[in-house]
Structure 1
Amino acid sequence: MAAHYLDFERPIADLESKIEELSRLSETAGPGAFDTEIQALRDRAQELRKEAYGNLDAWQKTMVARHPQRPHL
């Protein structure tokens, strides 16, 4: 299933697409070719997640709660 991103998650989505692209390039260039760059992008994506989800307004919290891919227990 394709990922569905909310508006405030766009920077995270952009980084994740770059990570996927570098991972594909790494497969053709050889193992370890882009490991440093990929790890740096993963670290930055994690920082962006903390920033985005640490400062949600009321509407953003509602959108997360209604997200189509949220887990249902």
Structure 2
Amino acid sequence: MPLIQVTLAAGRSPEQLRALGAALTAAAQDAVGASRETIRVVISECDPELWFAGGESLADLRSRGDR
């Protein structure tokens, strides 16, 4: 049973998250031949204030237009 775990900065719509789950499921099915019913996708969202790149929060980077 493949398990795909993804962490994203919060802020995407439910439709985008559903599309990602469907696309990852299809990719795993194609890549490893797993049955759709056995594939699990877990999407975790992280507050941009708690996501750091280069020592700066994603919230700060976004506010400056850097990400």
Q: TM-score, normalised by structure 2?
A: 0.36
Higher strand share: 2
Q: TM-score, normalised by structure 1?
A: 0.34
Higher helix share: 1
